[in-house]
Amino acid sequence: MMPPSLNFGLLLFPDVTQLDLTGPYEVLARVPGASLHLLWKDRTPVRSDMGLSILPTTTLADCPVLDLLLVPGGPGVHALMVDELVLDFIAGRASSVRWLVGICTGTLVLGAAGLLQGRRAGTHWNSRHYLPRFGAEPSDRRVEVDGALFTGGGVTAGIDVALRVAAEIGGDELAQLIQLGIEYDPEPPFDAGTPGKAGEALTNRLLSRMAPRMAERDAAVEAATRRLARDAERAGRPVSNAAQSPLDSIDPFP
């Protein structure tokens, strides 16, 4: 029997962190029956935050009906959090997809689209404190699952999140086959992948280097939460429910 046809949309945007995108891509592309679409406003090459050019395959306007929508992270999320076209696209698709996925700081974009209210969600450790601004309960788990919403920690966690999604779609054995096929068996040469493991001195050194980017993120989150409050007032909803999530009505496995 042929596997069911599935459409997976992965958002692509300028200054994306490519591993947030390509790590999950490598996993999800191995799900039987899956067609993957790299989505952006046009089909011109998009440069990642480190200068790698990636070619979109489908525009937002031409995007087919999706079973899964994934939003990766990177410095480019600052612009996305105030991009009406992109946010409307994400919010519009969220009510019909079976799986909604946020990788790293891509979770903040889901928040800006009004999709995190009352949800448990994860993101990069340096941005977890923003999640309550979008009505979310922050999670420090590497992979967090809340109904149809799959999120996780920073960058490399995208592979783990995608494996969890693959297991939900096709069962644990499928995810294990994919894991074996890509030989995902990490043994990092150093044990400094979280602030707790890295220690205070190393963590503070990195935060100091990231200060300009975090200032930009502060401003983007502030602008995004103002937009949600404004939209709530226009719709006559209480501001506290500005980010009421369409995911509340989704059965992730119909």
Q: Which residues are catalytic?
A: 104
d(CA 100, CA 64) in angstroms, rounded, equals 16
Residue in the block written with tokens 């501001």 = 239
81, amino acid identity: M
Buried residues in 142-172 as b, exposed as e (16+ CB within 10 A): bbbbbbbbbbbbbbbbbbbbbbbbbbbbbee
How far, rounded to the nearest angstrom, does the alpha carbon of residue 119 sit from its chain's CA centroid?
14
| Whether 106 contacts 77, CB under 8 Å | yes
Q: Establish how many alpha carbons lie within 13 A of residue 42's alpha carbon, considering only the half-sphere containing its beta carbon.
A: 4
